[in-house]
Amino acid sequence: MTDPIADLLTRIRNALMTGKTVVTAPHSLQKQQLIEKLISLGYLDSFTVDQKSTHPLLHITLKYHQSHPVITNLKRISKPGRRIYVRADKIPIILSGFGSTILSTNQGLLTNKEAKKQGIGGELLCQIW
């Protein structure tokens, strides 16, 4: 697999379309940090790491509001074949501030609001609304 972040986002997107409550994905530190950021933004409910198998797994609990998913769309921006980097003043605003962009910076994963506040640019990982 060449793009594990895109795989994670696709697993979440597919689970939301079918109405599942839990998604399982292979564990990595960057994926875990991305899930933690999405939980802090209120898009996901919780996650656990299953260390029992030979390869650790993430079990992600999706969030629904009145039987509708909280996440409307997930979009991968930067890809392994085409990395997209932006300065702090060029970070895109999603849906007039109702959506979020996740950036990979030298300070870790940050949302567009956090990165602008700190004046840090980075690689655009994904957009969520």
Cα Rg of the chain, angstroms: 15
Among 3.40.50.720, 1.10.10.10, 3.30.70.980, 3.30.1370.30, name the CATH number for the domain at 4-69.
3.30.1370.30
Q: Which CATH class is domain 74-128?
A: alpha beta
Residue by residue, pLDDT tens for the chain (129 residues) are: 789 999 999 999 999 999 999 999 999 999 999 999 999 999 999 999 999 878 999 999 999 999 999 999 999 999 999 999 999 999 999 999 899 999 999 999 999 999 999 999 999 999 999
β partners of residue 80: none
Report residue 87 as tokens.
């300065």
The answer to whether the beta carbons of residues 87 and 116 sit under 8 Å apart is: no
Parse the chain into domains and list their residue ranges: 4-69, 74-128
